[in-house]
Structure 1
């Protein structure tokens, strides 16, 4: 649990049992329900020894993992885990719908403002709204963590794959991660993502895959990433040193597809990498020390510690570490839901208003999205219901709990726990620990095969 001193400055997090004892003894008060934050009445930072915590971030396209942990000479212990669910897809759909409505209105000979296409410039570092949303929501969560915990450093994946390491063809000077066990991990992870964790020749998935040289090395083929693909053991052994043109002479369409895909970059990784760079620049502006690493190193760290694959465990394993001693048993899932809309009408299929919404979002002191607890004494809905409320102007609310939605609860039975902040909160168990040396997930292991 996050702990603040009497002035609101962050102290080291404590165990939930200790937080309950402090609240029962009257030494602390609840500041926030989710995530749970308490404030001590009789202690300040000056009277305490604060060791500090660090934050690991694993940026992703749909989900971002955040881990709060302590670090003692490379030995990490996870204290809190957050999975942030983005709404970039919803933003993209809304923008596409708005553009379609505007194009439709312009094409119906209606009076409208002339389109302005030549007077709009994009600033340096501009990102599409669906991408910028990922940066801003992640930065917002980091800002909250720095208010609730004494964060001393941030670790973030700056790139999914170290493309310089992929194309250099030689060990990079001063880059220790290129030596020893990690050598080749960047290449393997890149190829798994590029070729969809399937055999390029037969399409087999969920089986061990080998690295295969499209143009065999024995015939002058190079070790560059553009000459590598994935092949199952059977296809790899059958192809052997045969030129790919001869091996696929009866499948010209597949041959053309493989040759084209081998030269094409990984577009999805490029988009995610652009978001990660923008996030890194925003984190640098906070003034905290920011340490960067690649996704390949994160996977190697998980491989060494035997941790399973999850967004929050990836965040815990970002960067340089020796071992991980513990991680939380539960993950707080934070879903970006937005704060509603300014528009107080609903439109028809042509974009014209068809009905009106209430002029105000607050009803009886509550707004849709607030976290509430309703205690109903009698009737079919008798009991305690805790969840997010959807208000109605009649004063009869709907409350969505983890067990479902309870409709028609009178506002007199409802008590506010926490104002809506644009996010929805749930919890789920953390992924169980894997084997001591688990194979890479989703598609089996990659062996250094090929010719």
Structure 2
């Protein structure tokens, strides 16, 4: 069962309804209009007498690939459940591709400058390497000629997140905003792990309803207490003595941050050794990295938790509840609920009410995240191919990066070894060449994630064929939908309901 979500004349969400007959009559009489079909949402065309809504808690089970969400009424009845599949793992590959393209572009520019310098006989050589500003030892230069080092001038601001983490952070925030547009969400319940909680800037200040007000770090003294608990109050170096000093691995004078990742608890003896011996300091750094890796298994998710809590705290203030995974498991086991992302989100939300009795009625919505912007002009490019008697013997004049097959130069060299120079040249003259071809994206293409209607049914675009003459739809395999017979309902919004 899926309720109908209701908006007032101004677009503000009201409580959803299951009076489907009433909704049908209102739509027929013109008292309401359809805003969206999935989830089915209507907007009233007449003013409401009162705008009284009940308390709704939205539970969020955060994740990198799978995010669970559930909205629960104060009596334990669920009003909404969904599972979102993100595209966060794609971001790493896209960043690698962008980095490779930019490096290739810069290298081309440098080589052009080198050729120009050689032409005008103004090139300068450094046979023993060149010591650039900011470098302790001479660097053997390949392309960078007479260029001042600029990498030391780049300082990232405090709280900077990687592009992968930033994308994941905004995915969570946008999901919550999207649901808040159709439901009057009054409270947010977010599950965090112990390590992520320790990364919060001020864990000693009870800004939020943490752990139902009875968490293990509640009122324990903040960051130093978190370090003590993380290390079991034992020196990180000697593993014997109790913690007496809190050492910053990167000193504050060198812009080291005041977070748990940069602080190690040490005894008096080890603290003195770290300041006197570079080897001891390096050993401490290695131990700290290992500890961070051990407790931060889902590092991207851990990176965003403090920022996610901060952003949600700006909107919901004291109505933001932070819980732990063990509480979710305890609630789920107690009421014998199945282990799914949306059910976990329900347990997170309902668990903040403690005495509530579960009442799960709604069906689960499936959300898939699509890439919204792709400004690439080139769709793909074929390789230069050399064929002999109809069979491909080589690709490209010289080997490209990661090419496993032979290039023309390698094929010719092997042919010379096998048949001799004269025979090899004769075979090379008989090669048929298929030039490299670029295929471009057409300007007004519809991006995957757009919603279209075909024969009265709703579908989500996953791709196009034959220059946009046919469409492919999510969950429909290789079935082709002719572009002339479809109607585009909405363009790609990033987070799209697919079921």
Against the structure 1 CA distance between its residues 116 and 24, is the aligned structure 2 distance closer, same or farther, given a 3 Å change threshold? farther
3-state SS of paired residue (1:326) = coil
2:297 is the alignment partner of 1:268 = yes
Contact 2:211 2:321 in 1 (8 A): no
Aligned counterpart for 2:490 among listed residues 418, 423, 429: 418
Name the TM-score, length of structure 1 as normaliser: 0.63
Residue number in structure 2 paired with 1:361: 445
Greater strand share, 1 or 2? 1
Q: RCO greater where, 1 or 2, for CA within 8 Å and sep 6 or more? A: 1
- Displacement of 1:80 in angstroms is 0.5
Taking the TM superposition and a 5 Å limit, the aligned residue runs for 1:24-423 are 24-44=28-48, 46-72=49-75, 76-104=76-104, 110-111=111-112, 116-160=150-194, 176=214, 265-287=294-316, 289-318=319-348, 319-320=351-352, 321-346=354-379, 348=381, 354-361=438-445, 368-375=448-455, 386-389=458-461, 390=463, 396-407=469-480, 409-411=482-484, 413-423=485-495
Between the aligned partners of 1:162 and 1:117, the Cα distance in structure 2 is: 31
Gaps of 5+ in 2: 114-143, 199-209, 217-239, 241-288, 384-399, 402-435
Residue number in structure 1 paired with 2:429: none
- Displacement of 1:39 in angstroms is 0.7
Contact 1:66 1:316 in 2 (8 A): yes
Aligned counterpart for 1:7 among listed residues 2, 7, 10: 10
Between the aligned partners of 1:280 and 1:264, the Cα distance in structure 2 is: 22
Contact 1:160 1:269 in 2 (8 A): no
- Displacement of 1:280 in angstroms is 0.8
Contact 1:31 1:37 in 2 (8 A): yes
Gaps of 5+ in 1: 165-171, 179-220, 222-259, 376-383, 428-451
Residues 150-170 of structure 1 show CA distances to partners (whole Å, capped at 9, x for unaligned) of 111111123356877xxxxxx
Q: Which moved more, 1:278-287 or 1:107-116?
A: 107-116
Contact 2:452 2:486 in 1 (8 A): yes
3-state SS of paired residue (1:268) = coil
Name the TM-score, length of structure 2 as normaliser: 0.57
Between the aligned partners of 1:333 and 1:97, the Cα distance in structure 2 is: 30
Between the aligned partners of 1:173 and 1:37, the Cα distance in structure 2 is: 34
- Displacement of 1:85 in angstroms is 1.7
